[in-house]
């Protein structure tokens, strides 16, 4: 799932802005020793930040290995195809750490022409292993990012004997990266199953389980004859949660007992239960009534998961029963989902629709109102009601959710809403001057299912909306609107607006941060302490510190909480569309998204700004794509408790560490 600034799934964030700054002790004004005390390393990173490969090239020839390595890693973040020949040369570097950095960077470029050189470098597995386990890992992972099915077979054949020596994580990463690109084989699945059953290498076992969870197709026999025979004996919650999701690859009769085992176990980790509940809604020949007890679960995420599963597939439950369940539930998020399910089950039931309308009008919570508006996305008869909220409300959340709901109706009920009416509503949003509404309207017009071509004889109104958008703050919506314009103009060649380099690294801030620097996020649920990764991602850390000291995060809400995925906050608008007047360059050194990883949301490479997210569990599909700048070192229990509409009260940066 893409970590984006605009995602209308379990949204929305806070709007309040505080001018108060975090406390700064006088000793924190004093420079400290970190790796960026080296002026040459700073220059290399500045060239990376400016995406200047020409300026980086001389550093590939320097005598000092540390500078050759840093130049290679700079190319990993830049993902610049012209760097490939330079990186290939570094695969033969006498320093193994430099070669490892080059291998990692090659994988990041996405250039498949590098695969023969990667295979050549892997020709003697034992020699590579003797030279450097890190080099072996990065070569294997890079081949997984770039190679084809023959390359996967090569990896499995060449390295089958090395899967336990000394650590198979690089091999499993390779199989996983192939799998994310829909390149897999029975042998790869069996090896992944072996990693889980062996249990000697927990990280490899977790990654293998994630491989099964995220694959589109898996041979059921591999699961049934392998990991699921021992499912009850696995204790690692990360393995169990991913295998719970992997039950989606089994047929109904096979999956049902495993799913019920999980959701009926009072000692089960909530993340495993959430995954099982989400799989359950897709199992045919079952009734959603079995999920009703979990609507009252003490863990909010479990209750949310049950409600979402019912809303997605309320089989066996009548609209009146769903509405009654919603009325009984004290959790407003669960209640809203149940009312959405009720309206979906009977869109013409005026009693239920009127009840939700009344709840919406009476609610003082913009986030509850937003989810109640989404309940109307199930009813074509509510188009005019939603249109009034879109045009008459002043709260950004009300307006954005109104259009989210309208877009959903337009997508699911095109034949029931006249195309002229739909286009008129979209034009109202485009003329609003609100970048969030413009982006949402543009996404409907740009969709592959859109049927407006006969009515759009020119794109003047779209181009007028484009001209009203300020860059780079409105970049994501700007690009969506560009796609719509290209669609209706019939442009074959598409040139998207590129953002100029606009936010150099504040080395003065970096220079005051010890390698052990931390930050305390005080939230309405408790304090979350982050260890800042200043040595790995200095630009992103400096931006975070700058925003924290300016009070940007104070009183901001967590606008997006996806159970067993992320909590996300920092949006200045409050609806997920917010950004600032600057963007950052993406920094993706070889660091990986584990539990409690803190990254920056983006609209694509080099568009990070001010929204951060924290993971509930390992999310390896995000590796190498989003700037990871901190890790939770205390307060992970708070992260697990955070719900949509909880708030960051303040942020304090501890320059020397906690």
SS (H, E, C) 136-195: HHHHHHHHHHHCCHHHHHHHHHHHHHHCCCCCCHHHHHHHHHHHHCCCCCHHHHHHHHHH
Residues β-bridged to residue 657: none
Give the mean pLDDT of 324-343.
97
Find the range with the poorest average confidence among 312-326, 468-482, 508-522, 542-556.
468-482
Q: pLDDT value at position 12?
A: 32
With 80 as the cut, is the pLDDT of residue 498 above it? no
Q: pLDDT value at position 525?
A: 98
- Each residue of 132-162: pLDDT tens digit? 999 999 999 999 999 999 999 999 998 877 6
Find the range with the poorest average confidence among 18-22, 81-85, 180-184, 384-388.
18-22
Secondary structure letter of residue 64 according to DSSP: -
Q: Is 377 exposed, middle or buried (0-12, 13-18, 19+ CB in 10 A)?
A: buried
With 50 as the cut, is the pLDDT of residue 434 above it? yes
Q: pLDDT value at position 395?
A: 94
Residues β-bridged to residue 560: 568
With 80 as the cut, is the pLDDT of residue 5 above it? no
Q: Are strands 628-634 and 597-600 parallel, antiparallel or unpaired?
A: antiparallel
Angle at 10 (CA atoms; ends 6, 14), nearest 5 degrees: 65
With 80 as the cut, is the pLDDT of residue 301 above it? yes
Q: Which sign, positive or negative, has the C-alpha torsion 387, 389, 392, 396?
A: negative
Q: pLDDT value at position 7?
A: 47
Give the mean pLDDT of 253-277.
94
Q: pLDDT value at position 167?
A: 73
CA nearest neighbour of 227 among 184, 265, 210: 210
Q: How many CB atoms lie within 10 A of CB 217?
A: 9
With 60 as the cut, is the pLDDT of residue 392 above it? yes
DSSP letters spanning 454-515: TT-S--HHHHHHHHT--TTTTHHHHHHHHHHHHHHHT-SS--PPPPPP-----HHHHHT--T
Q: pLDDT value at position 603?
A: 87
Cα Dmax for the chain = 77
Task: Please report which confidence band the pLDDT of residue 23 belongs to, taking 50, 70 and 90 as the band edges.
Answer: very low
Give the mean pLDDT of 401-427.
97
Task: Please report which confidence band the pLDDT of residue 435 belongs to, taking 50, 70 and 90 as the band edges.
Answer: confident
Q: Are 600 and 646 in contact (CB under 8 A)?
A: no
CA distance 432 to 481: 14
Q: pLDDT value at position 164?
A: 57
CA distance 45 to 35: 12
CA distance 347 to 341: 10
Residue 478 tokens read as 């700007």
pLDDT top residue among 631 and 473: 631
Q: Are 482 and 497 in contact (CB under 8 A)?
A: yes
Angle at 104 (CA atoms; ends 100, 109), nearest 5 degrees: 145
Using omega within 30 degrees of 0 as the cis cutoff, is the peptide bond preceding 166 cis?
yes
Three-state DSSP class for residue 433: coil
Q: pLDDT value at position 658?
A: 72
Q: pLDDT value at position 165?
A: 62
Over pLDDT 70: what percentage of the chain? 95
Q: Are 570 and 610 in contact (CB under 8 A)?
A: yes
Q: Are 592 and 581 in contact (CB under 8 A)?
A: no
Give the mean pLDDT of 586-590.
97
With 70 as the cut, is the pLDDT of residue 205 above it? yes
Q: pLDDT value at position 476?
A: 87
Three-state DSSP class for residue 135: helix
Q: pLDDT value at position 491?
A: 87
Q: pLDDT value at position 287?
A: 87
Residue 516 tokens read as 């052990």
CA distance 22 to 176: 41
CA distance 488 to 494: 12
Give the mean pLDDT of 431-449.
94
CA distance 161 to 608: 42
- Each residue of 54-93: pLDDT tens digit? 999 999 999 999 999 999 999 999 998 899 999 999 999 9
With 70 as the cut, is the pLDDT of residue 1 above it? no
pLDDT top residue among 631 and 435: 631
- Each residue of 351-362: pLDDT tens digit? 999 999 999 999
Residue 8 tokens read as 């209308």
Torsion of CA 87, 88, 90, 92, to 10 degrees: 170
The dihedrals phi and psi of 537, each to the nearest 5 degrees, come to -130, 70
Q: pLDDT value at position 297?
A: 95
Find the range with the poorest average confidence among 92-101, 163-172, 200-209.
163-172
- On average, the pLDDT of the chain sits at 93
Q: pLDDT value at position 26?
A: 55
CA distance 382 to 380: 5
Say how many CA atoms lie within 13 Å of 5 toward its Cβ. 30
Residue 13 tokens read as 């964030």
CA distance 258 to 215: 19
Q: How many CB atoms lie within 10 A of CB 142?
A: 31
Q: Are 219 and 187 in contact (CB under 8 A)?
A: no
Q: Are 632 and 535 in contact (CB under 8 A)?
A: no
Give the mean pLDDT of 211-215.
96
With 50 as the cut, is the pLDDT of residue 2 above it? no
Q: Are 272 and 236 in contact (CB under 8 A)?
A: no
Residue 513 tokens read as 């941060």
Q: How many CB atoms lie within 10 A of CB 569?
A: 26
With 50 as the cut, is the pLDDT of residue 13 above it? no
With 70 as the cut, is the pLDDT of residue 178 above it? yes
Secondary structure letter of residue 410 according to DSSP: H
Q: pLDDT value at position 22?
A: 40
């Amino acid at each position: 799932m893409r970590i984006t600034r605009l995602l209308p799934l379990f949204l929305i964030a806070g709007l309040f802005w505080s001018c108060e700054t975090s406390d700064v002790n006088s000793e924190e004004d004093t420079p400290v020793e970190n790796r960026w005390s080296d002026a040459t390393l700073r220059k290399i990173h500045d060239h990376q930040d400016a995406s200047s490969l020409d300026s980086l090239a001389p550093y590939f020839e320097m005598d000092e290995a540390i500078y050759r390595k840093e130049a290679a890693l700079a190319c990993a973040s830049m993902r610049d195809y012209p760097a490939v020949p330079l990186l290939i040369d570094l695969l033969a570097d006498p320093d193994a750490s430099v070669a490892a950095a080059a291998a990692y960077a090659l994988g990041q470029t996405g250039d498949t022409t590098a695969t023969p050189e990667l295979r050549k470098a892997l020709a003697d597995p034992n020699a590579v292993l003797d030279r450097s386990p890190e080099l072996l890992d990065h070569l294997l992972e890079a081949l997984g990012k770039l190679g084809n099915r023959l390359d996967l077979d090569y990896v499995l054949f060449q390295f089958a004997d090395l899967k336990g020596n000394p650590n198979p994580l690089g091999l499993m990463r390779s199989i996983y990266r192939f799998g994310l690109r829909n390149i897999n084989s029975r042998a790869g699945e069996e090896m992944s199953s072996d990693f889980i059953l062996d249990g000697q290498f927990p990280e490899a076992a977790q990654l293998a389980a994630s491989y099964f969870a995220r694959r589109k197709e898996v041979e059921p026999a591999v699961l049934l004859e392998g990991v699921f025979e021992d499912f009850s004996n696995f204790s690692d919650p990360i393995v169990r949660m991913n295998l719970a999701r992997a039950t989606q690859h089994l047929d109904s009769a096979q999956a049902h007992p495993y799913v019920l085992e999980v959701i009926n176990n009072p000692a089960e980790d909530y993340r495993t239960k959430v995954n099982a509940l989400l799989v359950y809604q897709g199992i045919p020949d079952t009734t959603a009534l079995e999920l009703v007890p979990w609507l009252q679960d003490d863990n909010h995420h479990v209750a949310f998961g049950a409600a979402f599963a019912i809303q997605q597939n309320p089989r066996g439950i009548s609209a009146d029963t769903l509405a009654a369940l919603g009325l009984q539930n004290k959790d407003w998020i669960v209640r809203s989902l149940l009312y959405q399910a009720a309206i979906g089950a009977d869109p013409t039931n005026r009693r239920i629709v009127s009840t939700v309308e009344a709840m919406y009008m009476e609610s003082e919570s913009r986030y509850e109102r937003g989810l109640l508006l989404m309940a109307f996305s199930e009813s074509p008869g509510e188009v005019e009601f939603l249109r009034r909220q879109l045009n008459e409300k002043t709260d950004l959340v009300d307006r954005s959710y109104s259009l989210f709901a309208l877009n959903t109706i337009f997508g699911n009920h095109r034949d029931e809403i006249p195309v002229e009416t739909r286009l008129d509503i979209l034009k109202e949003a485009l003329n609003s001057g609100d970048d969030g509404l413009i982006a949402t309207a543009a996404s409907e017009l740009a969709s592959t299912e859109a049927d407006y071509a006969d009515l759009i004889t020119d794109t003047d109104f779209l181009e007028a909306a484009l001209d009203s958008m300020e860059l780079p703050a409105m970049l994501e919506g700007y690009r969506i609107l560009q796609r719509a314009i290209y669609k209706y103009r019939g442009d074959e060649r598409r040139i998207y607006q590129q953002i100029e380099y606009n936010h150099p690294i504040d080395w003065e801030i970096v220079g005051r941060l010890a390698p052990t620097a931390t930050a305390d996020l005080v939230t309405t649920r408790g304090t979350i302490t982050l260890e800042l990764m200043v040595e790995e991602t200095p630009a992103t850390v400096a931006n975070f510190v700058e925003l924290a000291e300016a009070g940007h995060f104070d009183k901001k809400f967590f606008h997006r909480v996806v159970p067993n995925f992320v909590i996300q906050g920092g949006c200045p608008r409050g609806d997920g569309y917010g950004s600032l007047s600057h963007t950052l360059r993406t920094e993706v050194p070889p660091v990986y998204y584990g539990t409690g990883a803190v990254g920056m949301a983006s609209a694509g490479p080099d568009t990070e700004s001010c929204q951060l997210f924290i993971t509930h569990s390992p999310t390896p599909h995000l590796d190498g794509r989003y700037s990871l700048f901190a890790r939770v070192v205390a307060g992970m229990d708070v992260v697990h408790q955070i719900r949509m509409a909880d708030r960051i009260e303040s942020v304090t940066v501890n320059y020397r560490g906690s």
